[in-house]
Structure 1
Amino acid sequence: MKITRHTELEVFQRAFKAAMQVFELSKSFPKDEMYSLTDQVRRSSRSVAANITEAWRKRRYEAAFISKLSDAETEAAETQTWLLFAERCGYLADSERSVLDDEYEVILRMLVSMAVNAKKWTL
């Protein structure tokens, strides 16, 4: 199947779903974390999918495509860090964080593979 839209990419679908899971879980974070941890983890998780979208639109230029994938990779790793903070602060159960951490590891592997094989994805 030929992929014609970024929303058809498995990595985008996984990143979007993970961001929605982060959003749902972060609803229970304390109100005093609203403008720090809650905002940061929501922002970084959403940025993964957003940067994948931008990479898809820049695939005419291999370097720009790889750069946006790198940004998505960075945001995914940042999300993992914020989730670790949330767990250590007692806002997330280890099992909740662990499931999301594993999902972000899959997303990271997919992003790296796309970047390494950029010629397959670029126009």
Structure 2
Amino acid sequence: MNHKDLDVWKKSMDLVEAIYALSKFFPDDEKFGLTNQIRRASVSVPSNISEGAASKSDKEFIQFLYIALGSLSELETQYLIAVRLKYIIENKEIENKINEVKKMIVGLRNYLLKK
């Protein structure tokens, strides 16, 4: 399975772009803190989807999808921290992208589990 053909991978790549754009507004003193963490978590999502798609078995792919879900939860938490610290204002577009990717990963995982 080629990861570039997966809609969930494409949507997670869009999310990475959105997170990078959003995190530009974080304070400079967060460059090595929250800015770095939220960007790394966002990059981890499509990275794990692609690594899983390249794996030899559905079981292995499912494990990478669980890791992607963990990174997505980490990303969501870091986004909420940035909102609470008033580095950014609440952004429904970002929240919708996170939720959409989460549903797509869960859907793909469920499909693979039923195969």
TM-score tier by shorter-chain length is over 0.9
Q: Is 1:111 paired with 2:105?
A: yes
Q: 66-75 vs 5-14, which deviates more?
A: 5-14
RMSD: 1.5
Match of 2:6 in 1: 9
Ranges of 4+ aligned residues in structure 1 off by more than 2 Å: none
Q: Deviations over 1:82-106 (max 9, x none)?
A: 0001111111111x2x321221111
- Tell me the percent identity: 30
Could you tell me the TM-score, scaled by structure 1's length? 0.87
Deviation digits for residues 56-103 of structure 1, max 9, x if unmatched? Answer: 101x31221100000111111111100001111111111x2x321221
Count how many residue pairs are aligned between Structure 1 and Structure 2: 115
The aligned counterpart of 2:62 is 66
Q: Which residues of structure 1 form unaligned runs of 5+?
A: none
1:22-41 to structure 2, matched below 5 A, reads 22-41=19-38
- TM-aligned CA distance change 1:8 to 1:72, over 3 Å: same
How far 1:5 moved relative to its partner?
A: 2.2
Give the match's secondary structure for 1:35. coil
Normalization by structure 2: what TM-score? 0.92
In structure 1, what residue type is equivalent to 2:65? L
